[in-house]
Amino acid sequence: MNLNPFLRSLLVLSIALEQVFVVAILILSSGGFRIILSSGILKACFYGSYAISLLLIIVRWKRFLRGILLGDKVPLILVAIALLSILWSDVPNVTQLKARELLGITLFATYFGTRYTLKEQFRLVAWALGISAVLSLICGVALRKYGVHPEALFDGAWRGIYLHKNILGTMMALSGVSFLLIARSPGKYNWLGWIGVALSFMLIIPAQSGGGRIVFFFLVLLIPLYKALRFRYNLLIFFAIILVLSGAVASILFFENVDFIFESLGKDATLTGRVPIWNMMFKQLEFRPWLGYAYGGFWRGWEGPSAYIWRHSNWRPNYGHNGYMDLLLELGWIGFAVFVLAFLMTIGRAFLCIRSTKSIEGLFPLLYLTHLGLGNLSESRLLDPNSMFWVLFVSISLLPIAPRNSAIENQPDATIENNKYSG
């Protein structure tokens, strides 16, 4: 299509503005700037993003429809359950508000997943993480009022542009691995990837985030293992056997030295009081096992079922510090089963993504899902409203996957982008 210079410039500008919009929402949904922006401004930004996402979906409705039809629908079923939980919620107004925000961010996630190819999604996520890392460094060095916890709290650990040091550690772990993929990709700008890796790791250290360090190093070790998934199936079987045996040995060593490991990480074996809380959460699940307490219906301080935990613990958490337990309490075993199905199907899609592409960004979906799975063992970010974690989960579930065949294998630069629908 031939366009005059003015229209071509206008088109380029609109595409650039669209990408700026996506990067900005990814930063906000990662938890960025919540230490600075008021709740009212944040709400206005997110509700504005829902409206813009809807408009962009309408503009590209054919592409959106193809993406939904080709992608996994199970994550959307989970959103539907969260919306329906208004019917059995003790606080329907709270559930309605949270469910509405979950629906809104899912709208953005489906736009993001159907609008951009895997390569484009990866680059936009990298931009968001890179900007967050630079701004967190600035806040830690020059704006310590915002970027550093008070000395009386967490010994002055860095939090960057986030509310908490653990969020900074988690995001920088993902950032470091993403930039490592960029650094290992061919191209003249891969040196920027090494800078991103160094900056991300530099921020994990002052964040004093043991979980961030563990997840980062674990994901780094998994990169060559995930690349090995591209082997032919006879080699893949050998690789699987080695992986299982290695996992068994590692598990034995861990459980035999669990006290030493936690002591080395500066943690106690109860994970800073989390284990007793999880036990109490299980007791509360017995009262509403199948449907749970509804989305956003459990952690309500002294006014809800969380009062039992506040009364019998040494601290007063506002969430369960375990995404799986929180999901169980809010949506019951039915909602949890739907999530497990969605997670397994998305892992399968990520696996096929690795098998059907030779590009380095093809590793990102499975690495991210590993990051999500590990991070939610001690934190709670599975089904958060306005969360980048949910955005990426949904966008991965919508990736179009080409079957791996000999034709694809013999192509020097076969990527998932070649199978991306257009519209």
In-domain check, residue 33: no
Residue 118: the pLDDT is 94
| 259 occurs within a structural domain | no
Q: Are 172 and 133 in contact (CB under 8 A)?
A: yes
Give the separation between CA 9 and CA 281, rounded to whole angstroms. 57
Quick check: is 34 in a domain? no
Based on the domain organization, do 289 and 407 belong to the same domain? yes
In the chain, the amino acid numbered 308 is Y
- On whether both 293 and 353 belong to a single domain, the answer is yes
- The rounded distance, in Å, linking the Cα atoms of 423 and 116 is 11
Look up the domain containing 310 and give its range: 73-115+274-423
Residue-level pLDDT at 407: 34
Same domain for 337 and 412, yes or no, is yes
Instruction: Note whether residue 320 is domain-resident.
Output: yes
Tokens describing residue 310? 């506040």
Residues 385 and 309 in one domain: yes
pLDDT of residue 414: 40
**pTM of structure:** 0.89
The structure tokens listed for 142 are 């020059």
Of 230, 259, 293, the last residue of a domain is 230
Same domain, 181 and 100: no
- Digits of tens for pLDDT over the chain (423 positions)? 566 887 888 888 999 999 999 999 999 999 999 988 999 999 999 999 999 999 999 999 999 999 999 999 999 999 999 999 999 999 999 999 999 999 999 999 999 999 999 999 999 999 999 999 999 999 999 999 999 998 777 888 999 999 999 999 999 999 999 999 999 988 777 889 999 999 999 999 999 988 889 899 989 999 988 888 887 765 666 566 566 665 555 555 444 444 544 455 555 544 556 788 889 999 999 999 999 999 999 999 998 899 999 998 888 888 998 999 999 999 999 999 999 999 999 999 999 999 888 888 999 999 999 999 988 988 888 899 999 999 999 999 999 875 544 333 333 334 444 444 444
- Do 179 and 132 lie in one domain? The reply is yes
CA 78 to chain centroid: 16
192 in the same domain as 293 = no
For residues 317 and 367, membership in a common domain is answered with: yes
Based on the domain organization, do 125 and 213 belong to the same domain? yes
Q: Which of 215, 230, 245 is the last residue of a domain?
A: 230
pLDDT at 402: 56
- Examine the domain organization and report whether 421 and 290 are in the same domain: yes
Q: What is the number of domains present in the chain?
A: 2
The answer as to whether 60 is a domain residue is no
Residues 382, 327 contacting (CB under 8 angstroms): yes
SS (H, E, C) the chain: CCCCHHHHHHHHHHHHHHHHHHHHHHHHHCCCCCCCCCHHHHHHHHHHHHHHHHHHHHHCHHHHHHHHHHCCCHHHHHHHHHHHHHHHCCCHHHHHHHHHHHHHHHHHHHHHHHHCCHHHHHHHHHHHHHHHHHHHHHHHHCCHHHHECCCCCHHHCECCCCCCHHHHHHHHHHHHHHHHHHHCCCCCCHHHHHHHHHHHHHHHCCCCCHHHHHHHHHHHHHHHHHHHHHCCHHHHHHHHHHHHHHHHHHHHHHHHCHHHHHHHCCCCCCCCCHHHHHHHHHHHHCCCCCCCCCCCCCCCHHHCCCHHHHHHCCCCCCCCCCHHHHHHHHHHHHHHHHHHHHHHHHHHHHHHHHHCCCCHHHHHHHHHHHHHHHHCCCCCCCCCCCCHHHHHHHHHHCCCCCCCCHHHHCCCCCCHHHHCCCC
For residue 158, list its beta bridge partners: 148
- Rounded Cα–Cα distance for residues 256 and 332 (Å): 34
pLDDT at position 369: 95
Bridge partners for 148 per DSSP: 158
4 with 22: CB under 8 angstroms? no
In terms of domains, do 285 and 354 share one?
Answer: yes
Q: Is residue 85 part of a domain?
A: yes
pLDDT value, residue 405: 44
Residues 217 and 281 in one domain: no
Spatial CB neighbours of 268, under 8 Å, sequence gap ≥ 6: 262
In a domain, 1, yes or no: no
